[in-house]
Amino acid sequence: MTRGKFITLEGGEGVGKSTNLVFIKDYLQQHNISVVVTREPGGTVLAEKIRQLMLDNNSEAISETAELLMMFAARAQHIKHVIEPALAQGHWVLCDRFTDATYAYQGGGRNMKVSVIQWLENLVQGTLRPDLTLLLDAPVEVGISRARERGAFDRFESEKVSFFESVRRAYLLQAELSPERIKLIKANQPLLDVQRAITEVLRVLLALNVNYPVSGSLK
């Protein structure tokens, strides 16, 4: 059985990840791709509990180191119980955020050492890396304005503008370091233009993978 592809969707607050995650899933399914949709932190019962702790505004103050370790603890569960099994069965995995978010939020936003994140990445993931990452990028003020429309902010969304500026810079640095994998999509343009740009990237991936499996059970 052909191993599936691993696609991640990244970006700061309010860049349209949720909307475009649905668009990407539908586009792949229209091309007979069997898709497993998941998210980080989360994806398993334990990882979702960790997510709740990390996003809770009313919990005790979480240290930067604890936050980083919690993120990778959730990721370890996610990889073992969701991502790797799905890929091995030939499904394509579409994940809302992955380790690039750790470099952006914990590395850029929290000033955690990149070398520490890299060490944890290698420990937890081994050789697993996304085949494609779509990075939705928009000016911070645009993203925050959109995020406000969703309702009350969680612990991360409540951070200062300077935090999100650091997150955005870290994301853009990741794109510069891995241009073959990370494709930058300007998210402050009309939605149809955003999705047109996403489609062009996905077409290339589909063209390179002519033996993708016919759709089976979906999550």
pLDDT digits over 117-147, tens only?
Answer: 999 999 999 999 999 999 999 999 888 888 7
CA distances in angstroms from 2 to 89, 92, 132, 211, 218, listed in the order given: 8, 10, 17, 8, 17
> What's the distance, CA 129 to chain centroid?
12
What CATH superfamily is the domain 6-208?
Answer: P-loop containing nucleotide triphosphate hydrolases (3.40.50.300)
The tokens for 180 are 């073959």
Q: What is the pTM of this model?
A: 0.91
Q: Where are the domains of the chain?
A: 6-208
The residues near 153 (Cβ < 8 Å, ≥ 6 apart) are 57, 147
Q: What is the pLDDT of residues 169-211, one digit of tens each?
A: 999 999 999 999 999 999 999 999 999 999 999 999 998 875 5
